[in-house]
Structure 1
């Protein structure tokens, strides 16, 4: 059984901002005790557990909350997990849920308004030293909430992580395929192989009320922009990161973002 970070963001519907005092009511920051006992009632120091087990991604947690009914076409809020910003899309009721694989040690989650104002930031300490640190993390996000964009990663042994094959036998893996907003899609490895990695981004199609379709006229922007971030040795003194902005002009476009050796 896995723990869950729960964000309860009480934002007014108009305008789409909140006062700092009620932007985040749970969880409290501080220590996060490890273990398999459900501590759901102790929100000051523990987070409710969630049944998540995806093999290579079994350490991930859900970040959840609500931004209020402010409409789908508003400027995006931003979710920042351990310094990694991604657009924050919600459903019609303003709710969101995003997965993140936090490692041991000090972690942080922040929600920012479209104008960059920090609505709330939570710093917590993961005391479970058996929790592995992500050594390679690759994050893909984009700026059109109807676009269905997919992250693809090829590892040195030739395995291919994508929506149809998310968990690799070498320990790497993707979170669940993101079809309800602008990402993020997240690939992590805690014990990466040495060799050449390939990072690709694919504008697969669009997703709407009637399901998947390939009508480019529904795009909110003439060119969709995808930001791909590579993070190495996250949350350690050796951390470094690289970011790439890739334009996606038409459905079916497949772009090699980066090849790197580890």
Structure 2
């Protein structure tokens, strides 16, 4: 059968569309059952100023990382990572690769990665059977929707602890993983044994380069008792209009 010029054009367009469509692959974590006992799982990440972003430290165990590739990924935008129902941005390099550490709890976990344009996705589920694993009872995830901006997470605990980029590890064990200064985030605070009482979560618009008035929307997810029947998730979105702005996102009592 011979194709008309119009038919050839349509066939070429269809082939090009299929070829150019993003394809998402998750290399880690793998689905199924596993036991992470004895694994080297680092939570805090290296921070290098003046520019810092989410990074994977050398020696990080396979059980505590999210890694893969998005083929034909659109440039200039982050992908989206969804861990146990909580969405956050995911940086993709020029080759379409992504890698970041993540402190998974024991029990059932799910990871979904979506391409920057949202048209392609991959999902995996696994169960960690290590019952002695340190479990996050309080996790706070900050992300925002603009590149080249610096939004900071501040968490104040009942015992007077203050986790922020200048003091990432509290005396009570709560810790902030990284200070992201290049846009999007995420910055994640986590505590395995949070003191009981009143908590306050703030976000601070630290800066955005020469233009100090880029409107950006911060998203804060607060997760308590993760991976248990008592798990609770709350999502808050806050518009940030100018550098120097400090906003109280949520005050709450734990437990």
TM-score range, shorter chain: 0.7 to 0.9
Q: Deviations over 1:106-136 (max 9, x none)?
A: 1111112345456211111111111122111
Maintained 8 Å contact 2:154/2:203: yes
Distance 1:223 1:54, change over 3 A: closer
Shift of 1:53: 6.2
Q: Secondary structure at 2:36's aligned position in 1?
A: coil
TM-score by structure 1 length?
A: 0.75
Partner of 2:202: 200
User: Paired residue for 2:95, among 89, 93, 96?
Assistant: 93
Aligned residue number for residue 65 of structure 1:
68
Residue 149 (1) aligns with residue 154 (2): no
Distance 1:24 1:96 in 2: 9
Deviation at 1:143, TM superposition (A): 0.7
Q: Which of 1 and 2 has higher RCO (CA within 8 Å, sep 6+)?
A: 2
- Where does residue 42 of structure 2 map in the other structure? 52
Deviation of 1:72 (Å): 4.4
CA–CA separation in structure 2 for the residues paired with 1:194 and 1:245 = 25
The match for 2:8 is none
Instruction: Could you tell me which runs of 5 or more consecutive residues in structure 2 were left unpaired when the two chains were aligned.
Output: 1-16, 46-59
Relative distance call for 1:26 and 1:195 in structure 2 (3 A) is closer
Instruction: Tell me what 1:139 maps to.
Output: 141
CA–CA separation in structure 2 for the residues paired with 1:259 and 1:252: 21
What RMSD over aligned residues (CA atoms) do the two structures have, in Å?
2.9
1:246 alignment partner in structure 2? 238
Contact 2:27 2:67 in 1 (8 A): no
Which residue among 210, 213, 216 is the counterpart of 1:215? 210
- Superposed CA deviations along residues 195-232 of structure 1, whole A, max 9, x for unmatched, are 111101111123xxxxxxx3117x8xx42011001111
If the length of structure 2 is used for normalisation, what is the TM-score? 0.77
Aligned equivalents of 1:26, 1:53: Cα separation in 2: 17
Provide the C-alpha distance between the structure 2 equivalents of 1:70 and 1:17, rounded to a whole number of angstroms. 5
Answer 1 or 2: which has greater helix percent. Answer: 2
Partner residue of 1:107 out of 72, 95, 109: 109
What per-residue deviation string (whole Å, max 9, x for no partner) do you get for residues 56-99 of structure 1?
A: xx99923223324645434x421011111112222333333333
Do structure 1's residue 17 and structure 2's residue 17 form an aligned pair?
no
Partner residue of 1:231 out of 198, 213, 223? 223
1:259 matched to 2:254? The reply is no
Q: Is the 8 A contact 2:79 2:92 kept in 1?
A: no
